[in-house]
Structures are given as C-alpha cells and as structure tokens.
A and B are shown apart, each in its own frame.
Chain A
Amino acid sequence: MSIREFAESGADLELVGIQKRFPGFTAIEELDLTIPAGSFFALLGPSGCGKTTTLRLVAGLEEPTAGRILIGGKDVTDTKAHQRPVNTVFQSYALFPHMSIIDNVSFGLKRRRIGDAEAKAHEALKLVELDHLAQRRPAQLSGGQQQRVALARAIVNRPALLLLDEPLGALDLKLRRQMQLELKTIQEEVGLTFLHVTHDQEEAMTMADTVAVMNKGAIEQMGAPEELYELPRTAFVANFLGKSNLFTGDVVGTTDTAMTVDAGGHRITVPTARSQRHQGLVTVGVRPEKVTLHAEQPEEVAGRNLLGPGRVIDVSFAGVSTEYIVAVPGVGTISVFAQNMTFGPVAHEGSEVWLSWDVEHGFGLSDEPDESSRFPADADTQSIAVQRREALITELEGS
C-alpha cells in the first residue's frame, strides 16, 4: 500500500496490546482491537478515557509505549505519520489559515504527487457542497462549513482508514444531524474504514456499525449499538449509553430461564441468559423507557416485574417523552420515560404510582457490586440535578 496511490478500499485496523503512558499517568492500559475493513467503528467514552490518545496513536501523532499497530495487515508502529495511509478529521478542524479552501483540500494530494490534484479537490468540495467557496480562506467560513472542508480535505486522499476526532462537537444540533447523515452516506459510497471518536452516545449509536465503549484506558464493552444498549454488561456502559435504573441485591432464586433478585424487599426478575452473574450480590437493571407507569395498583402478572407503590418526585417534559422520577421505598429513585401519547403528564408530582416492566427487558451486570465504585459517578448534568434535588428533599422532609 503505497502512499502514492489511492486506497482501493478500506483497510483493517488492528491494535495489539497497545499501551500508552505519559509522564505521570497512563492513558491506555492495555488495548486490543480489530476493526474490519469498510466498517464504521465508534470509540465512545467520557473525556479522559483514552479514546483520543488511541486515535492519535493510529494516526502516528503519538508513539505507543508498548504494542503494535497494523493497518491492512502491515505493521505501521514505527512508520511516521506522513507515511501512513491514514487521514484525520481533527476536532478543531486544523484548516491551514494561510491557505485558501482549495489549497487546503489539495494539500495532501500535492504532497503525494497525485496528478490532477486541483480537479480532485474540486470534486471533493462538490461532495460536501462547498465548491463555490473554494477560493475563500478558512476564517471566512462558518463552523459547519469548516467542518465539511476538514472532511473533504481528509477523504479526498482516499485513505484506507479515516479517523474522526469528535468532528461534530462544535456544531449545533440540526447541523450535526445533517453532517451525521452526510458522513454515513460518504462512508457507504466510498467504502472506507472509519474510526470515529466521540463522547456523544447518540452520535455513536446512530452512525456506527460497531461501538466500543471506553473507560479509564480500556474497552468496557464492544458491539453493535442495539446490542450495547439493550444488553449492557457493566454499570458504566449502562449509564454512559443512555440511562438505566439499577438495583442491587442478593440472588434469591435461579432457574434456567430466570433469576430473581431481592432488592430492598422487592423481587426483581431478569432472564438468566441476560445476566452476567448468577449468585451472590448482583446488580440488575432496566432502561427507563421499558418501564410502564400505573396510576392504580395493577394485578401481578407472570413475566412482569412490579414495583410500588412509589411517589412521583419529578416530572420533566422533553417533547416526545416525559421523564418521571419515582421514589420507591427500599430501592431509591427510578426513572421512567413515557411517550407523550396524550396531552399533559399522566401522573403529577406527589401522586402515588406503580411501576412494571417486562422481565425480558431486564439485564444483569458483571460488576462486583461490593466494589467501592459500583456506580461510577454519573457526570450527566441532569442526573446531578436530580441528585441535588433528592438531597434537598430529604433535607426538607427531615427538618
């Protein structure tokens, strides 16, 4: 795979036993990862989890402390950045401010002495619908336009592997949706391998074929977006990828199909096959949108978990759905997402409700619940707000 020619198709990326230490901290503990050619792979994680470092290692902007990097089966660990068949769309775009848009886009082609650089650059600009701005300078473009130029500058080189470092972070929601679609279309059209680094779980899930959730320099769980969402294996994944209601308790009964956990006096059943651990103290959970709110006590039905009565302590309207926070004695607060099928909320703050969900929707986590950090600090501002309010409520009620 020479730098002088275009990649025919995407290449596999293999990271073998990668470790990266910086003076004072370890960014990546131990990372083994294989990304098949032509796939759209997302590395998802909070800031500081090592995802950007991983990307920089692949791009050749950092050297791994240990381990090998293989692109298309070829070891590139010791290859300099400018000799790797890889291009990056940087988080800050990093468009050269002293060059016109067309010079920016044709920069890589000219360095590789590929003929007709200007014409190819114009084609790439047409793909992102910015050819009419070819003579402008980056500073004269809006953030979204700059982002598209950065994308054109990378894909015009037809790299075997395209690295995207949170390229959509600076865009507003509408533009971001539009760019997500465009990126996905481009990836399918040109068949390149995309490695996308992001902290936006929604972005990762809508765009990628495979998502790897990274935490503290290691991959926690990897799989198709639906799989990760429906069956998280750790509390970190359960909370980072959407929201989860988690309950910790002792296993009180296990059959081939179902496992029952006693959480604060409430019996919660999850399918055995969807649980990672089957004895002792375990954490099980359910997604908020799977939980149904009942204004009156429903009858116990086989195959459904029932919790209650609880009290609605917060109702927040979010357009398509309404989030209810319900405090159930013994298990803490439970979040419920209910589709807004009728006008107005179905339950009001302070009203008494029951909760139920299909046993099939539950999942059991692999975390050791007795670990000190069994529920890692949730950095989500909304949940912090809820926690604050809870603390305030208990304080007010106590006095």
Chain B
Amino acid sequence: MAFAAFATTEAQPQVTRRKSPIALFLLLPGILYLVLFFLTPLISLILTSLQAPSEFGDIGVYDYAFNWQNYVTVIQDYWPHILRSFGYALLATVFALLFSYPIAYFIGVKARRRPLLQSLLLVLVIAPFFISFLLRTLAWKQILSDESLIITSLKAIGLLGPDAYFAGTPFAVVFGLTYNFIPFMTLPLYTTLERLDTRYLEAGSDLYANSFTVFRKVTIPLSMPGIVAGTLLTFIPAAGDYVNASRDFLGGPDTQMMGNVIEANFLVLLNYPAAAALSIILMAAILVLVGVYVKRSGTEDLL
C-alpha cells in the first residue's frame, strides 16, 4: 500500500509538468490580451483616480499624486446616484427574471417536443438584437412620450389620469433597462431549463408535492445555474448603463445613474480623477455584490 501511495504521488506531478509548457503556450495569447486590454487600462484608471489638479494648469489638467480624497468627495457628491444605480439595476433584474422565467420555461420545457416552435421562439427572443440598442431605446422614448398615440389613448379612455406622464420618470428608466436586458436573462435560463430532467418533476409529484411545491422545491433549485448566470448578465451591465437613464433617452434630471455621472465628469466637466474614482467604486461594488451573491446562491453542486 505504502509503495503504491508513493508511486502515485510521484507520478502525478510528472504528468502535470510534462503538460504545463503546452498549456502555458496555449494560454499566452489570452494572458497577453488581458494584460494589454484589461490590466493596463485598469492600472491607468486607478492612477487617474488618485490624480490631483495641476497647480498652474488649465481646467482638465491633472498631475499624478496620491489624492485619495477624490474617493471621499465623489461618494459625498454622488451617493444618491450610486444607490439609484444599484436600485434600478436590481429592479430591472427582478422584472427581467419574472418575465423571462415563464418564457424560458415554455421554450425549454413545454416546447421540447416541438423543435420548430422552439427555434422560432428563440429567434423571437434574440430578434431585437438585429436592431441597434440605441434605436430601440429611442423608439421607446417616443412610445412613452406625452403626445404618443398610446399615452393619449390611455388618457382618453380614462386608464391614465390627465396629468400622468412617463417620460423622464424612474419607471421609464427601469422599464428601458428591463426591456434591453431581458434576452440576457432569457437565454441562460433557457439553456438550463432545456436540460431540466422532467423525471425529477414526476418524482416530485409522485412524492405528494403539488405543482407549486414541485416548482419551488425542484424546478427552481435545479435551474439555479441559469438564474445566477441570467441575473449576473442583467445586473452588471444594467448597474453601469448610461443610455436608458440619460436625458437623451428615457431618463430625466432625477434619474441619473452612475454611468451618466461618469460620462458627465469625463466628457463635460473634464474632472477625470472624479470619473475614474467613480468607475473604480462601481467596479468594486459590483465585484463585492456578485461575490456575495454567487457564494450565497450555493450553486456549486449544480455547476
């Protein structure tokens, strides 16, 4: 036994050592790419976020420094935007999940025996991608504007009060975010639900669980990988989004999110350190939230 144990422990590292140069070689393009296009801008961003205004310079000229107060200032100035970003993103994620789950369930489970219907529905899910994201958002701006046919007719039949409006409201922004990110929720959900073994559902109903309990105790836990992937793919871009909340699209002065503030600081106020600090905060906050979420959702067994 002892000899056998020795033999295996000695043999294993040899195997990995023999393979490692090839693995490293194959990884090289990826590593180079990451260093060049991820690490370099990240370091540059961190350095910018710590810059101080140049003493004799013009507006928009900064010197490298260790001005960590930039972070305190932006949090003090922009904490409502930070909270709003995550609030809107969370709402959009929840709505997208509520809309997508039944769609994905229908395509992945109910339509399983009809491949044609399945592909047709999937095409419908991704069809919006064929039109530019900006154009679609602008279209919604028109639909939700005060003089649009829909709003005026809703008012005419009394479903909306005479003073009701949607343009520039948080509703419009969350609506836009939900709408734009729904395919990112539906597709991962579909891929897990498509593989869902319906025999587990039958076993559930055989063991005295009604359809609601089967859904809660079996279907949802088994589709957790899809739920986690879908919510991440929706939440992360939604939290950093600046198109929907922008005044040019669906937002108003009171709906500005972090993306809009970063944009304004970089391009209008030319306050690069503040914009960089905000970007770092956004990134760090998302990393922490996602980390906690993935750990709490406990999908390790299913992945």
Over the window 34-67 of chain A, the binary record of Cβ atoms lying under 8 Å from chain B Cβ atoms (1 yes, 0 no) is 0000000000000000000000000111000000
Q: Are A97 and B206 in contact (CB under 8 A)?
A: no
Of A84-92, A282-290, A389-397, the segment with at least 4 beta carbons within 8 Å of chain B is A84-92
Q: Are A97 and B222 in contact (CB under 8 A)?
A: yes
Of B46-54, B155-163, B207-215, the segment with at least 4 beta carbons within 8 Å of chain A is B207-215
Q: Are B207 and A108 in contact (CB under 8 A)?
A: yes
**B200: contacting residue among A80, A88, A94, CB under 8 A:** A94
The chain A residue sitting closest to B207, CB to CB, is A108
Residues facing A in B221-253 (CB within 8 A) are: 221-222, 224
Residues facing A in B186-218 (CB within 8 A) are: 197, 199-200, 202-210, 213, 217-218
Q: Are A107 and B209 in contact (CB under 8 A)?
A: yes
| Total residue contacts A-B, CB cutoff 8 A | 66
What's the tally of chain B residues with a CB closer than 8 Å to chain A? 20
Q: Are A98 and B302 in contact (CB under 8 A)?
A: yes
CB-defined contacts of B203 to chain A, threshold 8 Å: 88, 90, 94-96
B55 near A: Cβ within 8 Å? Answer: no
**A111: contacting residue among B197, B200, B207, B221, CB under 8 A:** B207
19 contacts between A and B (CB under 8 A): A61-B202, A61-B206, A80-B210, A82-B207, A82-B210, A86-B206, A87-B206, A87-B207, A94-B199, A94-B200, A96-B200, A96-B218, A97-B301, A98-B222, A107-B204, A111-B207, A111-B208, A137-B301, A153-B207
Among B199, B203, B217, B224, the one with the most A-chain Cβ atoms within 10 Å of its Cβ is B203
CB-defined contacts of A59 to chain B, threshold 8 Å: 206
Q: How far is the CA of A3 from the CA of B210 in the complex (A)?
A: 12
CB-defined contacts of B301 to chain A, threshold 8 Å: 97-98, 137, 139
CB-defined contacts of B218 to chain A, threshold 8 Å: 96
Q: How far is the CA of A58 from the CA of B57 in the complex (A)?
A: 86
Over the window 288-303 of chain B, the binary record of Cβ atoms lying under 8 Å from chain A Cβ atoms (1 yes, 0 no) is 0000000000000110
Size bin of chain A's contact surface: 20 to 34
Among B208, B213, B301, the one with the most A-chain Cβ atoms within 10 Å of its Cβ is B208
When A and B form their complex, which 10 residue pairs have the shortest distance between CB atoms, in order from nearest? A108-B207, A94-B203, A111-B208, A81-B205, A98-B221, A94-B199, A82-B205, A88-B206, A111-B209, A82-B208
A157 near B: Cβ within 8 Å? Answer: yes
CB-defined contacts of A176 to chain B, threshold 8 Å: none
Rounded to whole Å, the gap between the CB of B242 and the closest CB of chain A is 38
Q: How far is the CA of A111 from the CA of B301 in the complex (A)?
A: 24
- SS of A interface (majority): loop
Q: How far is the CA of A174 from the CA of B226 in the complex (A)?
A: 40
Q: Are B222 and A112 in contact (CB under 8 A)?
A: no
Task: Write the residues of chain B forming the contact surface with A, with a CB cutoff of 8 angstroms.
Answer: 197, 199-200, 202-210, 213, 217-218, 221-222, 224, 301-302
Rounded to whole Å, the gap between the CB of A195 and the closest CB of chain B is 13
Q: Are B302 and A112 in contact (CB under 8 A)?
A: no
Task: Give me 11 other A-B pairs in contact (C-beta within 8 A), A80-B210, A98-B301, A108-B208 excluded.
Answer: A61-B205, A83-B208, A88-B206, A90-B199, A96-B204, A96-B218, A97-B302, A107-B209, A111-B207, A111-B213, A157-B207
Rounded to whole Å, the gap between the CB of A141 and the closest CB of chain B is 14
Q: How far is the CA of A166 from the CA of B224 in the complex (A)?
A: 31
CB-defined contacts of A139 to chain B, threshold 8 Å: 301
Rounded to whole Å, the gap between the CB of A101 and the closest CB of chain B is 13
Among B200, B206, B213, B224, the one with the most A-chain Cβ atoms within 10 Å of its Cβ is B206
Rounded to whole Å, the gap between the CB of A107 and the closest CB of chain B is 5
Given known A-B contacts A94-B199, A98-B301, A137-B301, A107 and B221 have beta carbons under 8 A apart: no
CB-defined contacts of B302 to chain A, threshold 8 Å: 97-98
Q: How far is the CA of A60 from the CA of B209 in the complex (A)?
A: 13
The chain A residue sitting closest to B220, CB to CB, is A98
The chain B residue sitting closest to A100, CB to CB, is B301
Q: How far is the CA of A348 from the CA of B96 in the complex (A)?
A: 77
Over the window 231-268 of chain A, the binary record of Cβ atoms lying under 8 Å from chain B Cβ atoms (1 yes, 0 no) is 00000000000000000000000000000000000000
